[in-house]
Structure 1
Amino acid sequence: MLLRHRLALASLALLLSACQSFAPSQSELPVQRTAWEAHTPGCDGPRCPLVNIDTLSFASEPALTALVEQRLLGMTMNTPDAVLPESLQAYQDDFLQRAEPGWMAYLQAKIREQHDNLVVIELSSYLHTGGAHGMPGRGFINYDRKLGKALSLTDMLRPGQEALFWQRAEQAHQRWLKASGLDQDARFLDTWPFTTTTNIALGRQALYLKYDVYSIAPYAMGHPELVIPYDQLADVLKPQYLPEQD
């Protein structure tokens, strides 16, 4: 009986030890979602202008809350002379005041992932102010909770490795072309060559590159996403941005 009791205690200790070894190093950042939709006052019908906003706030990280709003507002700048609105509410009021029938604006921020002291936020927009279709947009915020800042590509990379990073991205582009059945389409390759993007996300399993419409593919193909596994970036990314794998 005593031997069985000792074995049970030893097994329990091993189980607890295993659980602890897989526990996250830091709890996820609490987030509050706020969403609303507004139409032109007094308008009734399917072509009434509307603004739909779906955003995030972080009580413990007010700088991140402000950054999310600023980045969403930046996605509304669809003309060279546009002025950045003071707030999402100010943008809504101004848009609806100027809007013509059929105009619409969608702005969204969502948590894509949280891991290794990073909060990865994906930003989306869709602005329709006339024409055959609206213009969608995408963006990312990679927020380092230890540093209290959003990371630039320079922050992520080892010194002097930017050229090598884009070589690995171009290899990911070749994989995407092959998976899409476009690697032998000479006309497509000539019309839509590889280019860089500022939309980079440090995911848990891989690094992601999101492309705007009309960048490496026609509008109908939406926002292409390239994937670079971390084992291809071990000599490119700073060690702290190579996620711990379970």
Structure 2
Amino acid sequence: MRRILLALLPLLLSACAAAPDSPPRPTSSATQVEWQRVAPGCQGDDCAYVRADYPRYPGQPELDRAVREALAGLAVDVGETNTASASPEAYATRFLAIAARVGADDPRWASELSARELRRTSSLVVLELDAYVFTGGAHGMPTTRYLVFDLRDQRALGLDDLLLPDRREAFEQLAREAHADWARQQFPDDPDFTEQWEFSLTDNVAPLTDGLTLKYDVYAIAPYSEGQPELVIPYSRLDGILDPRWLQ
């Protein structure tokens, strides 16, 4: 028996050396933070404010940085410059300064930022980032972005990263069909809906439980009353299109 074990030992060591790195375990070390900043010197219920509620990842600095930068960049169209802030705190300072300067006619300027994990696997984590900005008028503007983060390479993934090479056109065709199905279900009495609200492909996608989900801004493919439409393409239809790494 000892001779057999000694004979097998080189093979066992070789197999161990050739084995790929184990993927990260699907655990989270997030700490949820909440804060609110109010316009300096303002008192009462009508003060401009910024409220934030999102996870911090002290043990995963790249993920933590990606969440904070993406969250701060959700409302880059506020103010005179189309510049994203470096952090939620910097965004709050900028937003309240602009509110004090140009929002005198309506002091109730408000911005709310939030983020939450939707899915975590051995290879990635998916977060939904939301922003709501009110700067006067009939209603505020909501915005939602997915952050799909590769836990192995420690980087955010875009649509092309999720797809197999040269499969973007095939994916766009599936998304176009999903949009047509959605329009028929939502507006069965309006056969011309897709002519008025034409399909457009968004890069705001995430691999969630039921399939690859596309989420649109208000006014992108439907009127404001429809909110932020979602199209879901089941994984069964994405064989040969979606990179199977992101299903693990």
Structure 1: distance between partners of 2:108 and 2:122: 43
**Change in 2 beyond 3 A, CA 1:86/1:159:** closer
* TM-score when normalising by structure 2: 0.82
The answer on 1:45 being equivalent to 2:77 is: no
Structure 1: distance between partners of 2:86 and 2:116: 21
User: 3-state DSSP class of the match of 2:233?
Assistant: strand
Q: What CA deviation, in whole Å up to 9, does each residue of 1:74-117 have, x standing for no partner? A: 11211573332233222212322331301001111111111242
Tell me which residue corresponds to 1:196. 201
Deviation (angstroms), 1:208: 0.5
The answer on 1:230 being equivalent to 2:235 is: yes
The answer on 1:185 being equivalent to 2:199 is: no
Deviation (angstroms), 1:184: 4.7
Deviation (angstroms), 1:155: 1.2
Structure 1: distance between partners of 2:67 and 2:26: 21
> Which ranges of structure 1 fall in alignment gaps of 5 or more residues?
1-23
Structure 2: distance between partners of 1:36 and 1:112: 22
Tell me which residue corresponds to 2:20. none
CA contact (8 A) 1:183 1:189 kept: no
Structure 2: distance between partners of 1:91 and 1:71: 11
User: 3-state DSSP class of the match of 1:240?
Assistant: helix
The one-letter amino acid paired with 1:208 is: T
User: 3-state DSSP class of the match of 1:209?
Assistant: strand
- Given candidates 216, 219, 222, the residue that maps to 2:224 is 219
The one-letter amino acid paired with 1:174 is: A
The answer on 1:130 being equivalent to 2:136 is: yes
The answer on 1:239 being equivalent to 2:222 is: no
Matches within 5 A, 1:1-246: 26-78=25-77, 81-99=81-99, 100=103, 101-180=107-186, 182-241=187-246, 243-244=247-248
Percentage of pairs with the same residue: 37
The one-letter amino acid paired with 2:69 is: Q
* TM-score when normalising by structure 1: 0.83
What is the CA RMSD across the aligned residues, in angstroms? 1.9
Deviation (angstroms), 1:198: 1.6
Q: What CA deviation, in whole Å up to 9, does each residue of 1:27-86 have, x standing for no partner? A: 322211111112223323332111111122112210111111111121121157333223
> Which ranges of structure 2 fall in alignment gaps of 5 or more residues?
1-22
Tell me which residue corresponds to 2:18. none
